[in-house]
Structure 1
Amino acid sequence: MPAAAEQVTITDIAGRSVTLTVPVQRVILGEGRQLHVVAALDREAPLRRVVGWRDDLIKSDPDTYRSYLGRYPQIAELPLFGGLNEGGFSIEKAIALKPDLMLLNFEAKGASEETGLVEKLAALGVPVVYVDFRHAPFLNTEPSMRLMGQLFGRPEIAEQLIAFRSAQIARVTERLAGAGEIARPLVMIDRIPGYSDACCLSFGPENFGKMVEIAGGRNLGSEFLSGTFGTISPETIITRDPDVVIATGGNWGAFTPGGNWVGLGPGADLAEARHKLANLAKRPAFINSQAVKNYRFYGIWHQFYNSPYQFVALQQIARWLHPELFPDLDPDATLRELHERFLPVPFEPGYWVELSAAPERP
């Protein structure tokens, strides 16, 4: 049964107190990838409350968008917005949609303050709430899901999803804790290689970097980067010679058509992804590394970095780092169960790939 409307005061991820009426009915998603939670909360009609959204899902994760579009073709008619950080957001267009909530990701906070967006919307009775699945996901994902469950009048579903997430993380952490002292391989997370010619973007002690640490590895980026994101020089990578390299990949045809990126995501062509991964292994920073010599050069879906479902990536990374400890852990099965229990679209494989043979030297 629909929850009865009531006025509540919540505290968002930015620590702001916001008073509003819940459950909300007309929402603008300041990040299209917030759909990953919205779809679980409103599984029977995942876009029924969304009156507009940012275009990042369509551009940065077109395979997920395709999956939802096939089942809900009406989403093609939803008004689109550009990002606040890129100056592509129209407040006039937003106001015309008469929203009762705007959800923003935490990293948009600076731009929203500079433009006065929060104050302008507040003057019209439209509250802004910040959530976070990207900046510090292992700190903020569960509070963000719980917050969205309250806003949508679906707290029970949010708690079920949180419990599932916690249990899947525990399958990694508890087994590692029981293993005692183990060798922790040095891991280089190669962020979106092939998107550009730059080498090499990576993660510091958060996000994928944190996943590596939780999965029983040592994140190379944590040695050199203090923030969530940064760059590591090819010379540093050669000197440190990582045991494992994990490249993040996705479908970036909207930004770099025909690029060398590893196309991963729902329904991905894994043969093509493996071919591109082998090409990336030929780069000077990696070709002579232990990771390539020992076929410990992998690719994983980049969008786990901005999704509440990063626990699936954690399981896959744990399998790669410690295969002897996790022979029975099946991240594909975990992701399939997530779809069957919580999401309105079917599971499609395509989220990771492995180097199956040594690449030919250039």
Structure 2
Amino acid sequence: MSGVAFAGEKVKVTDITGRQVEVNVPVERVILGEGRQIYFTGALDTETPFKRIVGWRDDFQKADLDGYNIYLKKFPEMAKIPTFGGMKDGTFDIEQAVTMKPDVIIMNIDAKSATEESGYIEKLSKVGIPLVYVDFREKAMENTDPSMRLIGKLFGKEAKAEEFVKFHDAQIARVTDTLAKAKDLKKPVVFMERAGGYSDDCCMSFGNENFGKMVELAGGINMAKGIIPGTFGSVNPEQIIASNPDQIIVTGANWELYVPGGKWVGVGPGADKALAAKKLSALMQRPAFTGVKAVQDGNVHAIWHQFYNNPYQFVAVQQMAKWLHPDLFKDLDPEATFKELHTHFLPVDYHSGYFVSLKPGL
């Protein structure tokens, strides 16, 4: 992975699964396995984030409507990028991919088993299209830095990727270093509800990865850690009542295209915070949260769901640390951190609205 590649040089890169893949770098034509991968491509191709993208999955608009519209306003050409189905749901079209003449396809690791079962890698290999895996979701805290370095190598933007990694790690250290020095740290029990209100089911959550891992980094105890064996899963209402968490954090986004008029909490860029707080409060009326300590104390918060699948998780870790340990982190400003990220790395301006709390003053 070291060294600088020259134009048109064929190199072997190692993807996040340990596969060695031959790719002509820097790549000029890229297919994104998810539209939301613009979160990391935009951090490297800051001036022209869509210049390499010849095709992408159609999830960006549905999963992050506010973010999509912000990008669309500045880069209207993105509406013309061809879209295709996903590997996981079997709607990916190899023939369509071949016509796009990509130098590489970048897939998220969660599509790996479906990709292998359908023989996509072999089929793509026969037509000379390499596929690499990145991961910002399954083991995000472990794989974000190597994923960014891999994309930097592919794009010929290794120095920029290294700059991003340095910023990412320094911002997490602002939390972990402070916690390490804290004496007699009392860690609150935190229930993370994944996409609360998206459906009537209660309640999706996280095991020891993703937002579950972010809770631990932020100085909390993830309530579902011992209940959910993998990254994602569910807990039943009785378990929440029995655990009586000190803090509740619900993930949300603008999912109007998925669940029109739903009970989800629409936090995200430019969100209406008053409406989000109202919807968050309504979610706490469900039986699973009746009489729970966090609700009685007002320690209920909502955070942008898409932090679960992009390299900006350090912002979430900072915000959660501020909620869980307000005295320790009174001088930490996650909004300022996110603004700085936008200023130095991202192609669009920062819009507030990613966090909401029912606790006065937070």
Distance verdict in 2 for CA 1:6–1:172, change over 3 Å:
same
The question of 1:331 aligning with 2:344 is answered: no
Distance 2:79 2:306 in 1: 21
Instruction: Give the match for residue 61 of structure 2.
Output: 58
Cα distance in 2 for residues equivalent to 1:301 and 1:286: 21
Which one of the candidate residues 99, 102, 105 is aligned to 1:102? Answer: 105
Report deviation, 1:342.
Answer: 0.4
CA deviation after TM superposition for structure 1 residue 3, in Å: 5.2
Q: Which residue of 2 aligns with 1:322?
A: 325
Q: Give CA deviations for 1:249-292 in whole Å, capped at 9, x if unaligned.
A: 01111111000000011011111100000001111111311101
Measured at CA, do residues 332 and 318 of structure 1 come closer, stay the same or move farther in structure 2, by a change above 3 Å?
same
CA distance in 2 between counterparts of 1:55 and 1:77 reads: 12
1 CA distance for matches of 2:245 and 2:47?
A: 45
Count of matched residue positions in the alignment of Structure 1 and Structure 2 = 357
**Counterpart among 116, 125, 129 of residue 113 in structure 1:** 116
Q: Which digits, 9 at most, give the CA deviation of each residue in 1:52-109, with x for residues without a partner?
A: 0011111111111111110110100000012111122111111111111000000111
Alpha carbons 2:206, 2:228 under 8 Å: kept: yes
Question: Would the aligned equivalents of 2:35 and 2:56 in 1 still touch at CA under 8 Å?
Answer: yes
Letter in 2 for 1:211: M
Kindly provide the CA deviation profile for residues 321-359 of structure 1, in whole angstroms up to 9, marking residues without a partner as x: 0001000000000000000000110000010101147xx
Which blocks of at least 5 consecutive residues in structure 2 are unaligned?
Answer: none
The residue that corresponds to 1:125 in the other structure is 128
* Aligned equivalent of 1:248: 251
Residue 284 (str. 1) matches residue 274 (str. 2): no
Aligned residue number for residue 142 of structure 1: 145
Identical-residue share of aligned pairs (%):
55
Cα distance in 2, alignment partners of residues 51 and 96 from structure 1: 10
Distance of 2:319 and 2:119 partners within structure 1: 42
- 1:206 aligned partner: 209
| Counterparts of 1:267 and 1:3, CA distance in 2 | 41
Alignment of 1:14 with 2:14, yes or no, is no
Where do residues 148-297 of structure 1 align in structure 2 (5 Å cutoff)? 148-297=151-300
Residue 255 of structure 1 aligns with an amino acid whose one-letter code is Y
TM-score of the superposed pair, with normalisation by structure 2 = 0.97
User: Matched residues in 2 for 1:20 and 1:113: separation?
Assistant: 19
Q: 2:190 and 2:97 mapped to 1: Cα distance?
A: 43
Question: In the aligned structure 2, how far is the partner of 1:5 from the partner of 1:43?
Answer: 22
What amino acid is the match of 2:34?
Answer: E
What SS class does the counterpart of residue 34 from structure 1 fall into? helix
Amino acid at match of 2:17: A
For 1:134 and 1:251, the matched residues in 2 are separated by 20
User: Considering only aligned residues, what root-mean-square deviation do their CA atoms show, in Å?
Assistant: 1.2
The amino acid that maps onto 2:245 is P
TM-score, normalising length: structure 1: 0.97
Amino acid at match of 2:7: A
Q: Secondary structure at the match of 1:326?
A: coil
Tell me if 1:82 matches 2:92: no
Q: Does structure 1 residue 48 correspond to structure 2 residue 51?
A: yes
- Secondary structure in structure 1 of the residue aligned to 2:348: coil
Which one-letter code corresponds to 2:321 in the other structure? A
Relative to structure 2, which stretch is displaced further, 7-16 or 150-159?
7-16
Compute the displacement of 1:40 (Å).
Answer: 1.4
- Structure 1 CA distance for aligned equivalents of residues 48 and 255 of structure 2: 28
Runs of 4+ residues over 4 Å off in structure 1 = none
Task: Give distance in 2, aligned partners of 1:333 and 1:11.
Answer: 34
Instruction: Output the CA distance in 2 between the equivalents of 1:253 and 1:88.
Output: 23
